[in-house]
Structure 1
Amino acid sequence: MTLPTSLSQQDVDTLDFTAISPQEFALLVRNTPRRALADIAGGPSRGRLLDEVFSRMESRFKPDTAGRLDALVRWRITDPGQPDAVYETVIADGACTLTTGEGTREPRLVLTLATAEFLRLASGNASGVTLFMTRRLKVVGDLGLAAGLTRYFDIPKA
C-alpha cells in the first residue's frame, strides 16, 4: 500500500487504518494543513476517523505511568455543522477503557476541542498546553490531570 503524503477526504474514505502505524499517521497529520483537517472534520468520514484514533488509545496506554490513577476523562469533539462526538476513557486498575457517548458517571476531566486539534494532539503534532493557551482546547475539571494526560499514552512521533 502506498501512503499519501497528507490526508484528504478521499484518503480518509479509502485508507485501511489498520495498515498504518501510529508514526505514519502522525506524519500524515503533520503534513496536512490545518484547513484541510478542518474540511475532513466537516465531511462524512469524521466519525470513522475519530473512531479509528480513539480505538487505538487503549493499546497506546502506558499502565506503568498511571499507577493508582482512577479517572474518567470525557472527550467532547465539536465542529461547526456537526453533532458533538463524545468519547470517554476510563483509567483505572492499570488499564484504559474506551466508550462512546456520554455516560452517567461524573468525569474528573472534560476536554473539548475540534477534530483537527484532537488529531494534532493525538498524533504528537500539538501540545495540550499550547492548545489550551490558544483557546483551542477547553478544560473543565482536574487541571493537573489535564496537564499530564499525554504522559499516560505512547504518543507517536512524526
Structure 2
Amino acid sequence: MAAADDLDLETLDFGSVGPAEFAGIVKGLPTRRIAELMGGPQRRRVLDEVFGRMHTLFKPDAAAGKDALIRWRITAADGGADDVYETHIGGGTCTVTPERTDREPQLSLTMAAPEFLRLVSGNASGPTLFFTRKLKLKGDIRLAGSLTYYFDIPKP
C-alpha cells in the first residue's frame, strides 16, 4: 500500500478498508490532511462508515448490564453544520442513530473530525484529548472513561 499521505482519499472506498488498515491510514496522515478530507464531500461517507461499523467492534460482554445513550458531535471546521450521531449501548447491543434525537444522553462528546478519527482508530487517547481541550465532555465522565473497553479498537 502507498504511504497514507499519498493515498487518493477522495476516491478511496472506505467500505473496503478494514479497521486495522483504517487505523494505519489515520496514523500516517498529518492533521492537515485529515482536516482536508473531513472538510470535503466525503466527510459524511467516512463518518457513516465509522459509525456503521461500531456494532461490529462492540464487545457485549464488556458492556454487560450497561444501558447508556452517547451523543457524538463532530464539529465542522468551516463553519458548516456539525454532524451528530448517537450510540445506544444496552441489552448486549450497540445501535447507532445518524442524527440527534430527543432522547437525553448520559454522555455527550464533542470534538473536531481529525481528533474523532484519531480517537476511534486507536491513534489518540480520550484522556489526552480531554486534557488538551480537544475533546469536550458533558455528562457521565465515568462512562466516558470506560467507552474504550466496550469496543475492539484497532491497534495502529
Q: Same fold (TM over 0.5)?
A: yes
Matched, 1:143 2:141: yes
Quick check: 94-103 or 37-46, which moved more? 37-46
**CA-based RMSD:** 1.3
Whether the 8 Å contact between 2:84 and 2:100 is mirrored in structure 1 is: yes
Distance in structure 1 (CA, Å) of the matches to 2:113 and 2:121: 12
Distance in structure 1 (CA, Å) of the matches to 2:29 and 2:96: 27
Distance in structure 2 (CA, Å) of the matches to 1:21 and 1:106: 32
Out of 44, 55, 59, the residue aligned to residue 58 of structure 1 is: 55
Q: In the TM superposition, what is the alpha-carbon distance from 1:39 to its structure 2 partner? A: 1.5
Q: What percentage of aligned pairs have identical amino acids? A: 55
Whether the 8 Å contact between 1:89 and 1:96 is mirrored in structure 2 is: yes
Whether the 8 Å contact between 2:10 and 2:37 is mirrored in structure 1 is: no
Q: List alignment gaps of at least 5 residues for structure 1.
A: none
Distance in structure 2 (CA, Å) of the matches to 1:114 and 1:45: 15
Matched, 1:73 2:70: yes
- For 1:127, the equivalent position in structure 2 comes to 125
Q: In the TM superposition, what is the alpha-carbon distance from 1:7 to its structure 2 partner? A: 5.1
Distance 1:41-1:17 versus aligned 2 partners, 3 A rule = closer
Q: List alignment gaps of at least 5 residues for structure 2.
A: none
- For 2:109, the equivalent position in structure 1 comes to 111
Whether the 8 Å contact between 2:23 and 2:121 is mirrored in structure 1 is: yes
Quick check: 66-75 or 38-47, which moved more? 38-47
Distance 1:102-1:55 versus aligned 2 partners, 3 A rule = same
Partner secondary structure for residue 62 of structure 2: helix
Distance in structure 1 (CA, Å) of the matches to 2:117 and 2:17: 15
Report the TM-score, using the length of structure 1 for normalisation.
0.93
Cα deviation digits, residues 70-101 of structure 1 (max 9, x gap): 00000000022221100000000010000111
Distance in structure 2 (CA, Å) of the matches to 1:12 and 1:152: 29
Q: For this pair of structures, how many residues does the alignment match?
A: 155
Distance in structure 2 (CA, Å) of the matches to 1:11 and 1:128: 28
